[in-house]
Structure 1
Amino acid sequence: MNNNQKAAEVQKVLYTAKTKTTGGRQGNAKSDDGNLDLLLSPPGSNIPGTNPEQLFAAGWSACYIGALGLAAKKLGITIPSHTYVDAEVDLGMNGGDFLLQARLSVSLPGLERNIAEELVIIAHQTCPYSKAIHGNINVTTTVL
Structure 2
Amino acid sequence: MKVFYKTRATSTGGRTGHTALDDGSLAFDLASPGSGKEGANPEQLFALGYAACFGSALELIAKQMKLDVTAKTSVEVGIGQTASGGYALDIDIYAETTGITEDEAHRLIEKAHEVCPYSNATRGNIDVRLHVVVN
Report if TM-score (shorter chain) is over 0.5.
yes
Letter in 1 for 2:28: L
* 1:87-128 residue CA offsets vs partner (Å, 9 max, x unmatched): 111100123121111111110122111111111011011100
% identical aligned pairs:
39
Q: 1:101 — aligned with what?
A: 90
TM-score, length of structure 2 as denominator length:
0.92
Cα pair 2:19 2:29 within 8 Å, conserved: yes
Q: 113-122 vs 71-80, which deviates more?
A: 71-80
**Any stretches of 5+ residues in structure 1 without a counterpart?**
1-9
How far apart are the structure 2 equivalents of 1:98 and 1:32? 27
Counterpart of 1:133 (choices 89, 98, 122) is: 122
**Any stretches of 5+ residues in structure 2 without a counterpart?**
none
1:14 aligned counterpart, secondary structure: coil
Give the deviation of 1:30 after TM superposition: 1.1
Give the deviation of 1:53 after TM superposition: 0.4
How far apart are the structure 2 equivalents of 1:94 and 1:29? 26
2:98 aligned counterpart, secondary structure: coil
Cα pair 2:68 2:100 within 8 Å, conserved: no
2:67 aligned counterpart, secondary structure: coil
Flag as ranges the 4+ runs of structure 1 deviating above 6 A: none
Letter in 2 for 1:27: G
Judging by fraction of residues, say which structure has more strand.
2
Q: 1:123 — aligned with what?
A: 112
Quick one: structure 1 residues 78 and 44, their matched pair in 2 at CA, closer, same or farther if it must change by over 3 Å? farther
Aligned residues: 132
Q: 1:6 — aligned with what?
A: none
TM-score, length of structure 1 as denominator length:
0.87
Cα pair 1:69 1:78 within 8 Å, conserved: no
Letter in 1 for 2:8: K
Cα pair 1:21 1:28 within 8 Å, conserved: yes
* 1:41-72 residue CA offsets vs partner (Å, 9 max, x unmatched): 11222111101101111100100000001111
Q: Does 1:84 align with 2:98?
A: no
* CA RMSD, 1 decimal: 1.1
Give the deviation of 1:37 after TM superposition: 1.0
Aligned pairs for 1:19-38 within 5 A: 19-38=9-28
